[in-house]
Structure 1
Amino acid sequence: MKSITINGSKRESVGKKATKALRNAGQVPCVLYGGDAKPLHFATEEISFNNLVYTPDVHTVEIKFEDGEKFNAILQDIQFHPVTDAILHVDFYQISEDKPITMEIPIHTEGVARGVKNGGVLRYNLRRLKVRGLANELPDYITADVTKLKIGQKLYVTAVADESYEIQHPDNTVICQVRTSRNIVALEDDEDEDEVPADEVPSTETDDVAAVKEGEDN
């Protein structure tokens, strides 16, 4: 998984006045949890979150401080101003190479569903998948192949299972499905056409054939 770097400054004062002064200066108050130490309070420029928050991708974070100390972490929680959407506070969780973490990984669909080619519509139930695994083994995104989906069929999370992570959803959780639409095209593939045995021909067709033969005999 890709990582981005955020440069932070440790905070000695965490009171309301100090926090307000930070925000007025374009800084975001943050806290780092996890590890053996106590929570570490720091601040960083709001622009530092552009490539972390305002993107569909997911990253780990390397937090660097002026004294040379650095930590690997993931974004745990973020608070926005209800009116301006400005970032008010960010929580990070410290990670290590030998301890699994839980993250939401974006899902990228691959291919064109067979049902879509025949007039159906692909509907998404999940855009991200919650998984658990080691940070260095988690993918940037999870690929879901929808090529074989016919109209009415669903793709479950079990279809994207992998040894590098553990899916944190029930097996019957649906990623996407092909729904019917007003424009439905009949399948013309030979593999979908079933031959009807003579003894299973509808009675109306059998009667028609018998009538023709009787006319020929007369």
Structure 2
Amino acid sequence: MSPLPTRMVNRWQNRQEPGPGQGTLYWHILVGDQPEARDLAHTAQKRLAGFRGLHMTPIEWLHITTLVVGPTGETTTEQQRTMLTAASQLLAALPPVTVTLSRVLYHPEAIAVAAHPSDPLRQIRAAVQTATLNVTGHEGHTEGSAQWTPHMTLAYSESDQPADPIIAALGRKVQAAEFNINTVTLVAQQGPERLWDWRPIGTVALGCH
């Protein structure tokens, strides 16, 4: 998400999205139940509230997107259950992770905060990617780019406008939030992304021997 963008763009203008009855399957680290993450998002979103064309992430669905599995129609209910079991076995060997959010990331389509340290989060991603590959025959993908940068998105851009005033308003860092990550969740997102029709299928605990 660098260098800094000069303009924000409409994320959904030319984006292919699921139609009626369709959805996308994700592995997400859900953090909306973490008071520290909620407070950070509330403060940052309040500072961004004066700008038009920003679609804020609902506090309850704050998350770190870990892996895009693919269209929901390409995996059966049984495969989803098997993926959860496989991920549970792999993630049992990984301890819970203490993460810090503070550095703001700017992209033409979104505003986010980076999650550090990244290495333990990459281990979590590798585990769910292996579980996905073993069950479905494909390993999923990273949304938007080939390289995965762990982050929590604060807002998505839905219009064209200069980025500089937004960057000036929020800055490059916010007050740090630190909390523990203990679980990863398989989520079915029904319909277009911005409708936030999320249906958690199952949650896997870290370090659960």
With the length of structure 2 as denominator, give the TM-score of the two structures.
0.24
- Structure with the largest fraction of helix: 2
With the length of structure 1 as denominator, give the TM-score of the two structures.
0.23
